[in-house]
Amino acid sequence: MRKTVLIALVAILLVTTGLQAQTLPPRLEFRHQGLKIETTPVRNHVEVSPIMTLLGGEAAFSASAGVWALSLGEHLVQVAPDRRLVLVNGKLAEVQDAPISSPGGIAVRLSFLDDFILAPFGFHLEPIVGGYSIVPGVSSGKPITIRPAAADFSATTTLVLSLDRAVEATVEARPGGGVVVLLPRSAPRIESPNRLRSRRVRSVVAAPGRLEIDLSPTIGLISWNVLTGPDRVVMELGTVPPTPTPAPIIARPVERSGPRPIVIDPGHGGDDTGAVGASGLSEKELTLVIARRLAQALRSAGYPVRLTRDGDAGRALTDRAALANRLDARLFVSLHANASTVASVHGAETYYMSLDDRASDEAAQFTADLENRAGGAGLQGGSTLDLILWDMAQSEVLNESARLALRVQARLNALLGLKDRGVKQAPFVVLTGATMPAVLVEVGFLSNSEELEQLASPTHQQGLADAIALGIGDFLVGQ
C-alpha cells in the first residue's frame, strides 16, 4: 500500500515538474545582434510582433483572410490564430500547437517560434539567462533514434523505420534512384544498421534532418505511411514505377519563355455577344477593342501580355482563367461592359472574387472531420492538406486581387472622372480558379445612352485602356 502511494506521489511530482518545465516566466528576454526586448508571455505563448521587430522584419495582419504574414527579406511565413497549419515560404506544414490570439496580435509556443518562424528566416533560439538569444544558423536538431527492418516478399519489400519518438516525416523518391526520408529539425541516428538484411534495400544512412536510402537497381518507392503506436515510417518498395501516387491529369503547360505575362481577357466573343447598346455596339466588340489598346499600353510599359482571345472567337468562361494559370500569369484582368434594366445607371466598377464564407467554414469543418477520422496521423494522403492549402492560398490571392482592384478603380476614377461605383466582390465564373491576382473591370454601361456614346469613342476607349494600364502599373510597382 505504501509502495503504491509512493509511486503515485512520484508520478504526480514528475508530471508537475514536466508542466513547470513548459511554463514560461512572467518576463522573457530576447536578444539579437546587440538589441534586446522583453516580453510578457501570454498563456505560455510568446508574442510574435516584438520578435519580428527585433529581427527587422514585419508582421502584418490581413483582416479579410484572418492571417498574419511574417516577412523578413524574401521569406514569408503565414500563420493564423487557432490554426494548426502554417505556410512557410509557400509550403504547408502542420504544427502541434496552434498560435493563439494575444493582446499584441498573435502569440506562439517557443517551439513554434523556433521551428516555423525563426528557422525559415535562418535563425534559431539559444537559451541564455532570463530568455533566449536569436542567432543565425540552423539548430542542430533534436536527436532521434531509428531502427530499420526490412521484409522481402516475392515482388515487394516492406521497409519499417521504427522511431523512438513521434516526428514529422516525409518520404520522397530521389530523382537518381533511391529514397530520402526528410526529418526536419531532427538529428537522426541509425541503431544497428548492419542488421538490415534485404535484397532490395542496400543501405540506410543518416544525415542531419534526413535519411538516405539506397535501393537495388530498378527498385523504387511504391507507397509510404507515417504510423503511430509505435511511431514508425513504413514504405513499400518494388519494381513498379516509383510513383507514390498517380499523377493527376492536367492540361499540358503552355510553352512560355521570358517573364510572366499579364493575361487580358476581352469578355464574351463569338456567339456570345454580351450586352448590346441601342446603337448596336456590342460588349464583345468593345471589350476586344479596349483589350487590344490595353495590351499595347502595357507592352509599351515593358510588360509582356497575352489575350485570351484576339478576334471574335468564343471561349468558355472557365478556359480563360485556366489559360492564365497555365501561362503562370502575373495578373488576370477580364474586361466587360455592363447593362442594367435601370437606364440611369452608369459608371465603371471593378470586381474581384468572393469566396462563400459559409462554404469556407463548412470546408474547414469538413477538413477537421477528416483529420479527426484519420486520428491526426493520416495527413500524408494529400487531399486534406491540398484543401487547406488551397483555402489559405486563395485568401492570399484575394488580398492581392483586392489591392489590384483598388489601384485600377482609383485610376479609372481619377483619369476619366467617372462616377465611382467602387470595388466590389462577387463570385464571377471567369475569376473562379485563377491562382493569381484577378479582377473583372466593367468599363461602363451600354444601357445608358450618354455612356454608350462615350464608350463608342476611340478617345474614351484609349482613356479607359490607359487608366487600367496605369492601375496595373501601380499595383505591380507596389508588389
Partner 1 sequence: MKGRLLVILLAGLAIGALLAWLLVTGTTHVALVEDVIPAEPPPTPTPAPEQRITLFFAGGDGLLHPEIRTVPLPEDTAARIRIVFAELLAGPRSSLQPILPYPAELRALFVTPGGRAYLDISGPPEPLEGSATELMMVYGLVNSVLLNTEVVAVQVLFEGTERATLTGHLDLSRPLVLNKDLIGR
Binding site for partner 1 (CB under 8 A): 267-268, 272, 274-276, 283, 317, 336, 338-342, 344-345, 347, 351, 354, 356-359, 421-422, 424-430, 432, 440, 442, 445-447
Smallest distance, partner 1 to C-beta of residue 298, A: 24
Q: Which helix (H) or strand (E) holds 415?
A: helix 383-416
Q: Grid coordinates in use for 26?
A: 512572467
217: left (phi over 0), alpha (psi -120 to 50) or beta: beta
Give the orientation angle of helix 458-477 with respect to helix 283-300, to 10 degrees. Answer: 50
CB closer to partner 1 out of 240 and 276: 276
Residue 115 or 265: the one with the smaller Cβ distance to partner 1 is 265
Smallest gap from Cβ 293 to partner 1, in A, equals 21
DSSP letter string over 85-115?
EEEETTEEEE-SS--EEETTEEEE-HHHIII
139: closest CA among 163, 164, 115, 170?
115
432 three-state secondary structure = coil
Q: Which is nearer to partner 1, 76 or 335 (CB)?
A: 335
Q: What is the longest distance spanned by two Cα atoms in the chain? A: 100
Residue 270 Cβ vs partner 1, minimum distance, rounded to whole Å: 12
Taking the least distance from each CB to partner 1, the nearer of 200 and 346 is 346
In the complex, the smallest distance separating the C-beta of residue 362 from partner 1, rounded to whole angstroms, is 9
State the minimum distance, in angstroms, from the CB of residue 431 to partner 1.
9
Q: Grid coordinates in use for 20? A: 513547470
In the complex, least distance from residue 271 CB atom to partner 1, rounded to whole angstroms = 11
Choice between 121 and 351, CB closer to partner 1 = 351
Helix (H), strand (E) at residue 50: helix 48-55
For residue 154, the minimal CB distance to partner 1 (Å) is 50
Q: What are phi and psi of 338, to 5 degrees?
A: -95, 170
Query: Which three-class secondary structure state does DSSP give residue 479?
Result: coil
For residue 67, give the nearest of 477, 294, 434, 394 by alpha carbon.
394
| Type of residue at 9 | L
117 vs 398 by CB, closer to partner 1: 398
CA 71, CA 120: separation in Å to the nearest integer? 10
- Provide the 10 A C-beta neighbour count for residue 205: 13
Give dist(CA 331, CA 377) in Å, integer: 38
Closest approach of Cβ 359 to partner 1, in Å? 7
Of the pair 157, 338, the CB lying nearest partner 1 is at: 338
Beta carbon of residue 172, minimum distance to partner 1 (angstroms, whole number): 36
Residue 186 in contact with residue 146, Cβ under 8 Å? no
Residues 165 and 280: their CA atoms lie apart, in Å, by 73
Do residues 463 and 415 make contact, with C-beta atoms less than 8 angstroms apart? yes
Is the Cβ of residue 78 or residue 287 nearer to partner 1 in the bound state? 287
- Of the pair 33, 360, the CB lying nearest partner 1 is at 360
User: Based on CB atoms, which residue is closest to partner 1, 384 or 447?
Assistant: 447
Cα dihedral 69, 70, 75, 78 sign? negative
Specify the residue, 356 or 386, whose C-beta has the smaller distance to partner 1: 356
* Degrees to nearest 5, angle at CA 467 with 466 and 472: 95
d(CA 227, CA 169): 10
Q: Please, are residues 318 and 423 in contact by the beta-carbon 8 Å criterion?
A: no
Residue at grid coordinates 528566416: 121
Name the minimum Å distance from CB 204 to partner 1. 49
Distance in Å, CB of 360 to partner 1, minimum: 10
The residue written with cell numbers 466573343 in the block is 269
The C-alpha atoms of residue 430 and residue 440 are separated, in whole angstroms, by: 8
- Minimum Å gap between C-beta 443 and partner 1 is 12
Of the pair 241, 270, the CB lying nearest partner 1 is at: 270
User: What is the C-alpha to C-alpha distance for residues 421 and 16, in angstroms, rounded to an integer?
Assistant: 62
